[in-house]
Each structure stands twice: as structure tokens, then as C-alpha cells.
Amino acid sequence: MGRMEGKTVIVTGAGRGIGRAIADAMLTEGANVCFGDLSADVGDVAAAATERTGGAASGTAIGVQVDVTQRDQVKAMIDEVVGRFGSLDVKFNNAGVNKPMNFLDVTEENWDFIMRINGLGVLIGSQEAARQMIAQGHGGKIVNTCSIASRQGFDNVAPYCASKFAVLSLTQSAARDLAKHKITVNGFAPGVVNTELWRQLDEDLMEIGASQKPGQAMEEFSSGILMGRPATPDDIVGTAMFLASGASDYMTGQCIMIDGGMILV
């Protein structure tokens, strides 16, 4: 029997990258999984999940196009999931974006774009998931994607760091408020993960003059990783699974670093 058998899980930002790897793993462990993403392709991503998991998937996957900054869309996604599977047990608030700018060049537009998705998106996602879990009356789990940028401010990505500090503080505030409903709220904090986000970041950092050639920024940023390499999305899955499963039931308001040893706190 899979570790997530009988559970219903929503993962946002599941169209690709870390979110997709987590959603695939939940599916393999027996959960019914909603792949939520801004991308119109998310239905196809969910449909292909059984194939991607090598036929090992024992849950059911659906894809829902959603903008995590739009409360009505988030509510509609949760309603669709509960209508289909009967409950919501675990919500991953994982969708996130970055767009580097040199510190003195950061604009209001850059700030708003990043803070809305990474910060407000997690607030709305937590609130609406919690409302559903409270109505169900048997608790639940909210898992937020933090970052090494939740623990340290880096240059060229100031709004991103501010937004990921916000994700960490929202994790703590929600944990304090929701414990009485037996809802735990935790986060995990990746370091450098080889996904489209970093591919784009590498390109953008060259554009603003922070690096000179493809791969340089990622290589330099990864040079201090004690494990000697950047992560793949699969490296993140075990920690995400732990936080979604009963194994972490007596844990709330925490953020687990899963960065190969970059930020030692």
C-alpha cells in the first residue's frame, strides 16, 4: 500500500520542474493528485503522469489550469478536486517565479510580479485549502516551497528573496493559527535545482551583466554546495513526501533545508 493511499493532494506549479516531480511521486504512492498550473498544458501533463511514473501510479491524476494569485480560481480548483475525489488532505503551495534585476534597478513592476505569485499566492492557497480542511473536520497538511532565499538575501534577486522570506513567515503564521484545527503547515527549502526556472535565471543573469556565458551563474552559485552538485527535482521529492505523510504529523511551522548543504541553519 502506498504511503499516500486514500489521500487527495493538490500541487501548484505542477506543470513542470519541482512541482511535477512531487505530483508524480504522490501519484505513485497512491494519492489522487491535482496538478495545478498557470500553463494551459497542465491537463496533458497530468494525463501523461501515469506514463511518466512508469505505470507505477496507483492514484488518479487531473490537471487544472489555475492562477494562484486569483482567489476565485483557487477556490474553483479546490471545489473541482473535492467534487471529484471527496476531500482535500494535502496542499502544496509550490508555484513560484523569479526575474533577476540588479538591486538598484529593481522596479515596482518586478517587485509586484514576484511578490504577488510567490507571496500572495501562498497566502491565498493556504487560506482556501485551510477553509476546506476545517470544513472536513479531520485536519490536513499544507506544504510550502521555501528556498535558501528564505534564509538569506542574495544580490540580483532581492524581491525573490523578500518573497521567499514571506513564504517562511506565512508558514509560521499559518502553523500557529491552524494547529487548533489539526492542520500542520511546513515548508522545504531547495537550493539550486536544475529546472526551467534556473535555465531562465541563467539567461537573465547574463542579460543584466551578472554573468558572461551560459551556465556560468549556475556553476558559480553551485560551487559552495557541500554535496558537490546542484539538485534535480527528484532530490526534493523525499522531503516533500515526508512533509505530506503521517511521518511528519508532530511537526508544524518548520522549514527543512534540502539544498545539498548550502545554508547551514
Q: Minimum distance from CB of 137 to ligand NAD (Å)?
A: 28
* Catalytic option among 85, 160, 165, 198: 160
Residue among 59 and 159 whose Cβ is closer to ligand NAD: 159
| Distance, CA of 36 to CA of 20 (rounded, Å) | 10
- Give me the residue label for grid cell 485549502: 129
Q: Which is nearer to ligand NAD, 145 or 211 (CB)?
A: 145
Cross-strand pairs, 188: 145, 256
Cβ closest to ligand NAD, residue 97 vs residue 134:
97
Least distance (Å) from ligand NAD to the CB of residue 121? 6
Q: Which three cell numbers stand for residue 19?
A: 512541482
Told to judge if 160 belongs to the known catalytic residues of this protein, a careful annotator would answer yes
Query: Residue length, the chain?
Result: 265
Whole-number Cα distances in Å, 162 to 95, 111, 119, 153, 253: 16, 9, 9, 8, 18
Binding site for ligand NAD (CB under 6 A): 12-13, 15-19, 37-39, 66-69, 94-97, 117, 121, 145, 147, 190, 192-193, 195-198
Continuous segment of H or E residues that includes residue 113: helix 108-114
Residue 15 or 100 with smaller CB distance to ligand NAD: 15
**Nearest-angstrom CA–CA distance, 61 and 85:** 10
CB–CB of 133/181 below 8 Å?
Answer: yes
Q: Min. distance of Cβ 171 from ligand NAD in angstroms?
A: 13
Q: Which residues are catalytic?
A: 160
